Amino acid sequence: MTRVAIHGAAGRMGRNLLEACIDDPAVELAAALEDVGHPTLGEDAGVLIGRAPLGIPVSSDPSASEFDAVVDFTRPEGALALVEHCRTAGTPMVIGTTGFTPPQRARVAAAANEIPLVLAPNMGVGVNLLLGLVERAARALGDEYDVEIIEAHHRHKVDAPSGTALQLGEMAAAGRGHRLEDRSVFNRQGHTGERARGTIGFSTVRGGDIVGEHTVLFAGSGERIELTHRASSRMVFAQGAMRAAIWLPQQPPGLYDMGDVLGLSDT
């Protein structure tokens, strides 16, 4: 049985992770972690999510418990602080946090030289299947089809476009033999002129309690193709994170994604 720590346990996603961890017979909740000064510190993790007490208080000290893997859904600064702890302790880490800057992402990649680390903006099985479909479609359709990526999330999400939207853009660009940074268009306002051939556009929606929706639109002359994934519950991400936490301790140091976890990387 894999002993798992949840970092960001009191957040919206963290509470789903606690539930997924408690309900999965292949894992055992070993620690519930939050930032120093967080109001839930000391509260029982089970009570936190409306369950029976587990005897596991929310803590800010990752060294106070022993675990086989830690799952992080917080913000980049908090995730990076935990990366350094895991790097020193030799603990595998699953990161679902998004919004990393390129230098921050480089720090994560450097840590993966010493510990096994899964970095994935979306842990859902369906979205990871979508990534492969987008790459195949982009390769088949080529630059004659314009690509637009439309994503929608709840009003509390702080980064845009979503990490999943960016990953979808990367796959679309890779399918065409390009780099996303050379083809992406994030802002359109005023007199923009005609669309440049081969560009990949992004549109962002923020509102209400939308869990997560992503559509990749291939618009050609006389037809369009839309590939869409809609998540109706955060639990799909939490369950995927548990799969990653179970898989990761058996792997050598390296930077992995959910395609590796799910065995999709070579498909």
- What are the catalytic residues? 153, 157
DSSP string, the chain: -EEEEEETTTSHHHHHHHHHHHH-TTEEEEEEE--TT-TTTTSBHHHHTTS---S-BEES-GGGS--SEEEE-S-HHHHHHHHHHHHHHT--EEE------HHHHHHHHHHTTTSEEEE-S---HHHHHHHHHHHHHHHHHGGGSEEEEEEEE-TT--SSS-HHHHHHHHHHHHHTT--HHHHEE----S---SPPTT-EEEEEEE-TT--EEEEEEEE-SS-EEEEEEEES-THHHHHHHHHHHHHGGGSPSEEE-HHHHHT-TT-
